[in-house]
């Protein structure tokens, strides 16, 4: 069996993968970025087993990437939000989107297009707005469904949802 960590590696990538390299973790962060904040919404979107999602969310909370916040008292209900460290995963997510679009994408085209809120221009591989040249941060970005988005895509079902990604 493989060990669970890459501790032998003096490497910031290994350190990052220790926290976000588990199966599903990056997709959970993506879903929260897209505006899915409740356990059932994320579970339904990913189709992941509930106990797996629970353990991944717990670990993300422990590592300060996700914050669990009550939104209702009786019965107690929680929603999940990204912390600043969680939002800082946005560049990784953008680079995976761009790689996937280019090398593993569907013939229908990209499922998501990321635009600069300020001017509506698309962002390039460096997260720079192709229209106005601004360096776009996560809070200045907006995700729109692209030509490859199927009817079940979270951005199609909840247009306008999400900060970005």
Residues that bind its own copies (CB under 8 A): 2, 6, 8-21, 23-24, 26-27, 30, 46-49, 52, 64, 85, 88-89, 91-106, 110-112, 125-128, 135, 148-150, 152-153
What's the closest the beta carbon of residue 26 comes to its own copies, in angstroms? Answer: 6
Helix (H, G, I), strand (E, B) or coil at 40: helix
Q: At what angle do helices 12-20 and 25-33 cross, to 10 degrees?
A: 80
Nearer to its own copies, 78 or 122 (CB): 122
What's the closest the beta carbon of residue 103 comes to its own copies, in angstroms? Answer: 5
What's the closest the beta carbon of residue 37 comes to its own copies, in angstroms? Answer: 18
**Residue in 96, 64, 59, 93 with CA at minimum distance from that of residue 81:** 64
What's the closest the beta carbon of residue 118 comes to its own copies, in angstroms? Answer: 16
Nearer to its own copies, 54 or 95 (CB): 95
Cα separation, 34 vs 40, whole angstroms:
15
Nearer to its own copies, 13 or 132 (CB): 13
User: Which two three-digit tokens encode residue 42?
Assistant: 């994320």
b/e map of 4-13 (b: 16 or more CB within 10 Å)? eeeeeeeeee
Cα separation, 122 vs 18, whole angstroms:
32
Nearer to its own copies, 111 or 162 (CB): 111
């Amino acid at each position: 069996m493989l060990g669970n960590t890459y501790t032998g590696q003096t490497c910031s990538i290994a350190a990052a993968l220790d926290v976000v390299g588990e199966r599903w973790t990056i997709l959970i962060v993506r879903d929260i970025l897209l505006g899915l904040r409740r356990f059932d919404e994320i579970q339904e979107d990913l189709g992941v087993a509930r106990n797996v999602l629970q353990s991944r969310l717990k670990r993300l909370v422990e590592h300060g990437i996700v914050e669990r916040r009550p939104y209702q008292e009786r019965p107690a209900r929680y929603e999940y939000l990204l912390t600043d460290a969680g939002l800082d995963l946005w560049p990784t997510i953008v680079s995976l989107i761009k790689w996937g679009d280019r090398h593993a994408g569907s013939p229908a085209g990209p499922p998501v297009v990321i635009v600069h809120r300020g001017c509506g221009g698309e962002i390039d591989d460096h997260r720079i707005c192709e229209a106005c040249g601004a360096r776009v941060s996560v809070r200045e970005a907006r995700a729109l469904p692209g030509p490859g988005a199927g009817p079940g895509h979270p951005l199609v079902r909840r247009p306008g949802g999400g900060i970005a990604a």
